[in-house]
Amino acid sequence: MSGHRLNVHGGNIYETSKDYGIRQEEILDYSVNINPLGVPENVRNIIISNIDNIANYPDNECSSLKSGVSRYLNIPESKIIIGNGASEIISLFFDVIRPKRICIPAPTFVEYADTAKCFGIEVNYFKLNEEEDFKLDLNSLLSYIDDGIDALVLCNPNNPTSKLIKNDELLELIKYTYSKNIYIMLDEAFIELTERSNNNSMVAALNEYNNLFIVRAYTKLFALPGLRLGYGLGDESIIKKMWERKLPWSVNTFANCLGDIFTIESDYLLRTTKWITEEKKWFYNELCKQKKFKAFEPSTNFILLKILDEGLNAAILKDKLLLKGILIRDASNFVFLNNKFIRLAIRDRESNLKLLNALIEVL
Amino acid sequence: MSGHRLNVHGGNIYETSKDYGIRQEEILDYSVNINPLGVPENVRNIIISNIDNIANYPDNECSSLKSGVSRYLNIPESKIIIGNGASEIISLFFDVIRPKRICIPAPTFVEYADTAKCFGIEVNYFKLNEEEDFKLDLNSLLSYIDDGIDALVLCNPNNPTSKLIKNDELLELIKYTYSKNIYIMLDEAFIELTERSNNNSMVAALNEYNNLFIVRAYTKLFALPGLRLGYGLGDESIIKKMWERKLPWSVNTFANCLGDIFTIESDYLLRTTKWITEEKKWFYNELCKQKKFKAFEPSTNFILLKILDEGLNAAILKDKLLLKGILIRDASNFVFLNNKFIRLAIRDRESNLKLLNALIEVL
């Protein structure tokens, strides 16, 4: 981990704005994967009507949020932990479980390994092969993890590959690891941004398998990364320990007011599913027409691309697009990727057309 | 630490509201020690005008906040860490320093010991004597800490005793611990709520003594506990490690917008000093007239009281006052205190008169 460990993530429009002398609001951000439907109108209203409440300590037990998640996913409150973004949830998982060695299929979100290293945990990467379009080969993984691994970390759909593991394969993995006393941390941060939404989730398996822990967040779904709100679902005994170890009051007053968000924004959820189903397919097809790239077929709201042009790499392309006010994610720092890979968000049609035109112009 | 470790703190109006069937907004909260001038008007405006920014990740380097603290206290940015309330700062101190054994003069804020225990740190309490009005006896402390202590934790002014250690005594402590390679974590969360405000701070000593680490927060001063914003000041090498270990994006977008707060609210700061200087003295004198209590003279915005009436204790008094809509802090769970102690906030004159009348009525 470097000084400020997040410089390498997507979404750092502050630094980009400074470095390139572009005003923040003029940057079209394709480096971060949040719902382009934007912050729901109800959230704005809730914040405004609760401004006076910042003079009170937040509810440290997050009662209203727990109740809302419980109703949304039909899961008992005793299986729910609320935290300051998925980051605090991931950190609490390692803090409470304290695995010695974990397995992470990669390329994937860098924060699992970064956080694990903070706890002195040994990280073993299981390579997802480019030749297989980065799809998880279940049998290979099963034989790989059979050797001194305490926990398996999975991101589903996976960042940055945008690949989804199917429910039956996941269930097989969960059963196998359960039989071997291996924990699974399953990050479903993007699950509502897949076509089948929560039908792709493994929440139902929590009833039977106490080795399963699921990470979720409001961040991507409701376009709220600035508010800091994530949650975790797991066995009661683990959840209880997490509440004990958690940073006090880490979930702020405004975040605590979003307990009913899944209910009052049910239409937003439907519109989200409609958008991702249509736009993902259209954008992927358009990108496939660009012969200088290989586009890996996405299952959620971002696409991994490999630059085929010999004279071009991710850093150069990023620079060229920034001159047009578009920020993309140079994906070269993901484990097992290289300087030929970029990741693009999927946004609204108007923005996506701008991006496609910009790509044609710079290539 | 129990399940949800903060039930015993002041300020839990959510639980009180539920348990006593009183609406939150009807509770006059004397259990929490925040500035009764309330949330500054500029903060409201800043939040409203930045609502759209929650769709972006917060600035993880907190550049604007660092710059603001740097100007406010005339200290280089390299000596500043920003966090999710003082809680994250305290946790980072223990995480980075990893002392084996610490000394905490007590009674004091319970979170130092609770957090230390999360890190497996042994806590030695140094008793502040009631007979000496809970004032710190420097010589006794100096001889006590001379024995295998790695860090000393001080709260100044101290919660719940409201006692201030003078600058020259603190300097002697800092010099002594420096010579013995002992860290000092000095919590100045209430420093601007003393009559001499920042003149009571030891910030200037940071230049010379790299064993000194100061905890501060926006919480009490600007009445913002719901926004989660604290900071720490210390040696560059410690601060650098803290930034590395810190929970990513733990400071939300709204908190990140308060970089200029000390400048734009300079009048609020002056009014705060004026209020505390006048009201502290007046409220203390009024409480001294109540013969059923001993009031310990305060240096900041709360007062520790001992109930002298044999038939009364803190829990009974708390219940009686709640029937009148007033919530006080039962201080019996502070180390070395017992069920005769309560803590009262100092608020605006109108509220303080209400409290005094309620006290007279219930006694």
Largest CA distance in chain B: 58
Q: How far apart are CA A310 and CA A304, in angstroms?
A: 18
pLDDT for res A308: 96
For residues B307, B312, B318 and B320, what is the CA-based torsion angle, rounded to 10 degrees? -130
Task: Tell me if the pTM is above 0.90.
Answer: yes
Q: Reduced to 3 states, what is the DSSP secondary structure of residue A208?
A: coil
Mean of per-residue pLDDT scores for chain B: 94
Angle at B341 between CA B340 and CA B345, to 5 degrees: 150
pLDDT for res B319: 95
* B141-183 pLDDT tens trace: 999 987 789 999 999 999 999 999 999 999 999 999 999 999 9
| Top-confidence residue, B5 or A196 | A196
pLDDT higher than 60, residue B5: no
Task: Give A-chain residues touching B226 at CB under 8 angstroms.
Answer: 53-58, 252-254
* A301-336 pLDDT tens trace: 999 999 999 999 999 999 999 999 999 999 999 999
State how far Cα A103 lies from the chain centre.
18
* B219-237 pLDDT tens trace: 999 999 999 999 999 999 9
- Angstrom CA distances, A37 to A44, A160, A273, A343, stand at 14, 21, 11, 20
pLDDT higher than 60, residue B340: yes
Question: Which residues in chain A land under pLDDT 70?
Answer: 1-12
Assigned token pair, A51: 């401004």
pLDDT for res A11: 60
Task: Give A-chain residues touching B14 at CB under 8 angstroms.
Answer: 59, 61, 63
The identity of residue B86, as a single letter, is A
User: Chain B residue with minimal CA distance to A8?
Assistant: B60
Contact with chain B for residue A32, Cβ under 8 A: yes
CB-based burial of residue A138 (10 Å sphere; 0-12 exposed, 13-18 middle, 19+ buried)?
middle
Q: Which residues contact B309 (CB under 8 A, 6 or more apart)?
A: B292, B363
pLDDT higher than 60, residue B57: yes
| Mode of pairing for the β-strands spanning A151-155 and A101-106 | parallel
Whose structure tokens read 């977008």? Answer: B253
pLDDT for res A9: 59
- With beta carbons less than 8 A apart as the criterion, state whether B201 and B170 touch: no
Report the candidate in B275, B212, B270 with the shortest Cα–Cα distance to residue B239. Answer: B212
* B82-99 pLDDT tens trace: 999 999 999 999 999 999
Q: List the single residue in B2, B15, B58 with the smallest CB-CB distance to A226.
A: B58
pLDDT for res B82: 98
Task: Give A-chain residues touching B255 at CB under 8 angstroms.
Answer: 252
Q: Which of residues 102-161 of A touch B (CB under 8 A)?
A: 111, 118
Interface test with B, best of A32, A48, A84, A109 (most B CBs within 10 A): A84
pLDDT for res A10: 60
Task: Give A-chain residues touching B62 at CB under 8 angstroms.
Answer: none
- For residue A271, the surrounding DSSP H or E stretch is helix A266-288
Q: Which of residues 283-342 of B touch A (CB under 8 A)?
A: none
DSSP 8-state assignment for residue B232:
E
pLDDT for res B9: 59
Task: Give A-chain residues touching B55 at CB under 8 angstroms.
Answer: 34, 38-39, 223-226
Q: How many CB atoms lie within 10 A of CB B27?
A: 18
CB-based burial of residue A361 (10 Å sphere; 0-12 exposed, 13-18 middle, 19+ buried)?
exposed
The ipTM estimated for the assembled molecules is 0.93
Contact A225 B58 (CB under 8 A): yes
- For residue B2, the surrounding DSSP H or E stretch is none
Task: Give B-chain residues touching A85 at CB under 8 angstroms.
Answer: 248-250
pLDDT higher than 50, residue B312: yes
pLDDT for res A17: 75
Q: Which of A88-92, B13-17, B241-245, B279-283 is predicted with the least confidence, judged by mean pLDDT?
A: B13-17
pLDDT for res A107: 98
Contact with chain A for residue B282, Cβ under 8 A: no
Q: How far apart are CA A335 and CA A108, in angstroms?
A: 7
pLDDT for res B17: 75
Assigned token pair, B343: 């803590």
Q: How far apart are CA B220 and CA B191, in angstroms?
A: 10
- For residue B231, the surrounding DSSP H or E stretch is strand B230-233
The identity of residue B57, as a single letter, is Y
